[in-house]
Amino acid sequence: MSFLHNLQLKLHQYFLQKKLKKNQVERYSLPFTKAKRIGILYNATNPENEAIVSAYRKRLQNEGKKVEMLAFINDKENHDQQLFKYFNRKNLSWILEPKGSVVEQFMDTPFDVLLCLHIEPLTPLECVAALSKAHLRVGQYRSSNTYDSYDLSIDTPKGDNLKNFIGQVDYYIKNLNKEKK
């Protein structure tokens, strides 16, 4: 990494920590059967991810969940034809903080569960998750996570793919606080 990028990351972490101290959100988990509103954050830079995440969204919708998605695309292009809400590098400040109405609206939504469905570390997505008003934030475990982006971190084998990670997320959220019959 270059000196400039390291400086950006240090400043990003510093200002994010200041925001997190002010970001008081009640965090709690509930049985997944009672969760009504689900948020999904993911990396849409690879088009295959879009298909995988969209299929999972449809499964959740078939279970009666209201699902909203926000994708990050790692470029500076316009994607007017996309069928989903997204942000990209044009929507990042110099300290790598996501900005714009789409991002702000997503972060301010009090989701019952926020699912961060990306297996590679991406500072913009980690930042959105950390500042989210979601009651439960679920994502991949990273030993390098310097700010608490997730309330439930799922550790998967190195080199695992997105489809397997989503399978693990689905298993754990559906068994978390499972109601007894």
* Predicted confidence (pLDDT) at residue 10 exceeds the cutoff of 90: no
pLDDT cut 70: percent of the chain above it: 93
**Quick one: pLDDT band at residue 142, thresholds 50, 70, 90?**
confident
CA-to-CA dists, residue 138 to 7, 72, 124, 149, 163, angstroms: 28, 17, 16, 8, 16
Does the residue 99 lie in any domain?
yes
**Quick one: pLDDT band at residue 118, thresholds 50, 70, 90?**
very high
CA dihedral 74, 15, 8, 134 (to 10 degrees): -20
Question: What pLDDT shows up at residue 3?
Answer: 83
pTM for the full predicted model:
0.89
Does the residue 181 lie in any domain?
no
* Predicted confidence (pLDDT) at residue 17 exceeds the cutoff of 60: yes
Does the residue 180 lie in any domain?
no
3-state helix, strand, coil in the chain (%, to 5): 40, 20, 40
| Averaged pLDDT, 81-90 | 83
Number of structural domains (the chain) is 1
Q: Please state whether beta strands 113-117 and 85-88 pair in parallel, antiparallel, or not at all (unpaired).
A: unpaired
Positive or negative, the CA dihedral 21, 150, 114, 123 is: positive
The answer to whether the beta carbons of residues 116 and 140 sit under 8 Å apart is: yes
The CATH number assigned to the domain holding 94 equals 3.40.50
* Predicted confidence (pLDDT) at residue 76 exceeds the cutoff of 90: no
Question: What pLDDT shows up at residue 133?
Answer: 95
Q: Please state whether beta strands 66-73 and 137-140 pair in parallel, antiparallel, or not at all (unpaired).
A: unpaired
Domain extent, residue 140, equals 3-175
